[in-house]
Amino acid sequence: MQGGDLSEEVFAKFREFIYKVAGIQIPETKKVMVANRLRRRLRATGIDDFAGYFTFLTSPSGPLEMPLFLNEFTTNETYFYRYIHHFDWLNEEFFLQIAEQGRLRKRPRTLRIWSAASSTGEELYSIALRLQPLRQLFSGWTITLLGTDLSTATLDSARAGVYDERAVRHVSPPERTRYFDHDPRTQRWTIKEEIRNQTTWKSHNLMRPLIEEPFDCIFIKNVLIYFDTKSKQAVTRHLLKSLAPAGYLVVGPTEGIYNMLEPLEKRRPWLYQNASH
């Protein structure tokens, strides 16, 4: 078996390294899982053992390998309209509120939304789909829909916009007909180019600040469950700095950061607003 056994010493080095660069905690009980995923990178790089791969990864040549290494340790299970009430709030309240503020010249005619752990794109495309029926309210506006993820592989999938039946199971038949192309042979659904062209995708590590203009709404869901308290605090600081005055933060139920959002005002159990105006 390529790589041999993963020693406790080298396993500890990988666990520490993954935590340092990504804020993700790998339990001590996951040595077999880590070894199996590392073996894929050993085969790809031609390196014979785990210690040699760690040396390579932390060498001056390591940055080129880093995205591929991290791809092995990010979990990316999601689907369209996960937590449907978040998306109902978008088209029933948020979009209408923003459009009215623009009409009354109380804000610039710009709208910026960030899916901060976009995985394979279902969340950001769900946001885009909810925006489509209201597009006439935003005629002449500059709209940015940004999806970021640590994994370059999932971002490539997001850009392609191809999904199986399970991923689109909560998408209504009219939306499927209007916004997707269906391949009956493979039973795959490809989101139409007009929707894909409304989105932007970027690799980003949540442990670092995002160098972008502030956002009117940020979604952070289904990622921080893997982070410890210190890492969550760092991510939360970066998110708050990226939130525009009066902007909204939509938080998933597993993130465990509710007690870190004191600067924001709670609007719903999962919805917080920047109190500064």
Helices 31-45 and 62-71: crossing angle in degrees, nearest 10, is 130
Question: Catalytic pick from 37, 82, 159, 176?
Answer: 37
Q: Which helix (H) or strand (E) holds 20?
A: helix 8-22
Beta strand pairing status for 243-251 and 180-183? unpaired
* Cα(80)–Cα(114) distance, integer angstroms: 16
Encoding tokens for residue 264?
């924001």
Phi first, then psi: what are they for 268, rounded to 5°?
-140, 170
The answer to whether residue 149 is catalytic is yes
Provide, for the chain, the percentages of residues in helix, strand and coil under a 3-state DSSP scheme, each rounded to the nearest 5: 45, 20, 35
* Cα(157)–Cα(154) distance, integer angstroms: 5
Question: Catalytic pick from 107, 112, 130, 149?
Answer: 149
The answer to whether residue 183 is catalytic is no
CA angle 104, 96, 116 (to 5 degrees): 115
* Cα(125)–Cα(219) distance, integer angstroms: 12
Rg (CA), the chain: 20
Q: Known catalytic residues?
A: 37, 149
